[in-house]
Chains A and B, each alone.
Chain A
């Protein structure tokens, strides 16, 4: 059972469109981090959300942490080809025990077509 479920798994849209990807769990996390990864490279940290209900913006990217700190979303406005990549959410502090490290979802593979 995946602790963090990301949806959709794959998304291919045209340049200029908006999109939202989701990261859901039945577990409470003390914080969630979003990463973007390109093929053959390590994940690059985009943002950390800590407070329930928190919203953070990074240019055209808007990140939200759920009130109960069990889920998060990433919204991209006017997507660009440079946004193409694997978007990963990861949580600290899985309250159900387990590895004391970041727990990752499987990611959303995003392709923005010119």
Chain B
């Protein structure tokens, strides 16, 4: 296993369009996290899954955002009706269980024009 994989690495979209990102975690990891990072800031928590169950969502996750992890393996993060303020790096991480080491993917850089 080569670690957490995210696709695409870069996405440029026009305001108002929908975008979807994919994350493939490390295979034996039960927990999967989504974070958003803007320039000069640390990552901010968006949501996480324990297997297929979405257990918590940050207040940062507006109703335009939805995340799924249908079979407890890969996850998708969809943003509907994108806004310029959605431009950021979207990071996915996975860990074996709670409070164990979390490993990040390379991120998806979203630019909304």
Given contacts A100-B48, A101-B45, A102-B45, contact A43 B91 (CB under 8 A): yes
The total of interchain contacts (Cβ-Cβ below 8 angstroms) comes to: 66
Given contacts A101-B33, A102-B93, contact A40 B48 (CB under 8 A): no
| CB-defined contacts of A103 to chain B, threshold 8 Å | 45
Q: A35 vs B35: C-alpha distance in the bound complex, in angstroms?
A: 15
| CB-defined contacts of B98 to chain A, threshold 8 Å | 92, 100
Q: Which of A90, A101, A107 contacts B56 (CB 8 A)?
A: A101
1/0 per residue, CB under 8 A from B, across A99-110: the answer is 111111111010
| CB-defined contacts of B42 to chain A, threshold 8 Å | 4, 6, 88, 90, 104-107
Q: Determine whether B25 belongs to the interface, using a CB cutoff of 8 Å to chain A.
A: no
| CB-defined contacts of A6 to chain B, threshold 8 Å | 42
CB–CB A45/B102 < 8 A: yes
Interface residue count for B (Cβ, 8 Å)? Answer: 27
| CB-defined contacts of B102 to chain A, threshold 8 Å | 33, 45, 90, 102
| CB-defined contacts of A45 to chain B, threshold 8 Å | 101-104
Q: A41 vs B91: C-alpha distance in the bound complex, in angstroms?
A: 9
CB–CB A42/B45 < 8 A: no
Q: Determine whether B62 belongs to the interface, using a CB cutoff of 8 Å to chain A.
A: no
Q: A114 vs B45: C-alpha distance in the bound complex, in angstroms?
A: 35
Enumerate A80-100 residues with CB–CB distance to B below 8 Å: 88, 90, 92-93, 99-100
CB–CB A44/B104 < 8 A: yes
| CB-defined contacts of B48 to chain A, threshold 8 Å | 100-101
Q: Determine whether A51 belongs to the interface, using a CB cutoff of 8 Å to chain B.
A: no
Give A9's nearest chain B residue, CB to CB: B40
Q: A44 vs B102: C-alpha distance in the bound complex, in angstroms?
A: 9
Q: A30 vs B98: C-alpha distance in the bound complex, in angstroms?
A: 11
Known pairs A41-B107, A43-B43, A101-B33. 13 more at Cβ < 8 A?
Answer: A35-B104, A41-B106, A43-B104, A45-B102, A88-B42, A93-B99, A100-B98, A102-B33, A102-B45, A102-B102, A104-B35, A105-B42, A106-B42
User: Residues of A with Cβ closer than 8 Å to B?
Assistant: 4, 6, 30-31, 33, 35, 40-45, 48, 88, 90, 92-93, 99-107, 109
